[in-house]
Amino acid sequence: MTSLAATAALIGDPSRAAMLQALLPGEALTAGELARIAGIGAPAASAQLKALAEGGLVAVHAQGRHRWFRLGGEEVAQAIETLLGLAARPARRPWPHDEALRRGRLCWHHVAGRIGVGLHERLTGQGWLEPEGGGWVVTPRGEARLVALDVDLAAARRAPRFACDCMDWSERRPHLAGGLGRELATLLLRRKWLVRIEPAATDTLRRRRLHPTPEGLRALEAEFGLAA
């Protein structure tokens, strides 16, 4: 009953790893052959093979003056295969995000995720906002709609930046940031069109998701033309 670290360390040495890979097809090899494969001398190979045998990674059978080594079983081959798969992956992986987190979350007080980029797209595409100086300003039509929704535009204008883009790391498109983004998020949460979901037990990152309520889905479609 050895530990995870001890077992992995057995595979983690270049010489031993070369031996194990040579044994992966299932055939037995002698200590001398394995030494040659690993590129080390007979004494070193003997010590390494002893360690592998004590760890159960290889099985040994003495026959005359030869000692035959083979993998310690199906599970050993499987473990090595799995590790080879890991080793072959591109090293750097993007932070994996679960589906609920992709749908909606808070990003520095504004709505991010699919809902956030959807809002951004509708607000700009329907002429509520127009670009100016790297950010956005509200059009007369947009102001009327936002005021009707009870968005506190005065509070939004007191922020350092009124409205600007924030690249969404899960959608790779921008969502709305700045004071307007914060006020929009505040509104959606106050009206309970979106609710915070506590991280579940099966959860990964301890971030709350933003989940649309049934009423919220209807409202988002009615007010912004945002499809579910």
Partner DNA sequence: GCCACGCTTCGGAAGCGGCCGAAGCGCCGA
Partner DNA sequence: TCGGCGCTTCGGCCGCTTCCGAAGCGTGGC
Q: Which residue ranges make up the site for DNA (CB under 7 A)?
A: 9, 13-16, 30-32, 35, 38, 40-51, 63-67
Q: Binds 51, which of its own copies, DNA, none (CB < 5 to 8 A, cut-off by type)?
A: DNA
Q: Binds 48, which of its own copies, DNA, none (CB < 5 to 8 A, cut-off by type)?
A: DNA
**The pairing of beta strand 66-71 with beta strand 58-63:** antiparallel
Q: Does 144 bind its own copies (CB under 8 A)?
A: no
Cβ pair 56, 3 in contact under 8 A: no
User: Could you give the CA distance from residue 131 to residue 162 in angstroms, rounded to a whole number?
Assistant: 12
Pick the closer one to DNA by CB: 30 or 139.
30
Helix axes 14-23, 42-54, angle to 10 degrees: 70
Q: Does 134 bind its own copies (CB under 8 A)?
A: no
Answer for which of 90, 134, 140, 160 binds its own copies (CB under 8 A) is 90
Q: Provide the minimum distance between the beta carbon of 161 and its own copies in the complex, in angstroms, as a whole number.
A: 20
82: Cα within 13 Å, side-chain hemisphere: 7
Pick the closer one to DNA by CB: 107 or 123.
107
User: Could you give the CA distance from residue 208 to residue 228 in angstroms, rounded to a whole number?
Assistant: 20
User: Could you give the CA distance from residue 70 to residue 144 in angstroms, rounded to a whole number?
Assistant: 78
The residue ranges that bind its own copies (CB under 8 A) are 1-14, 16-18, 20-21, 26-28, 53-57, 59-61, 63, 68, 70, 72-73, 75-76, 78-80, 82-96, 202-207
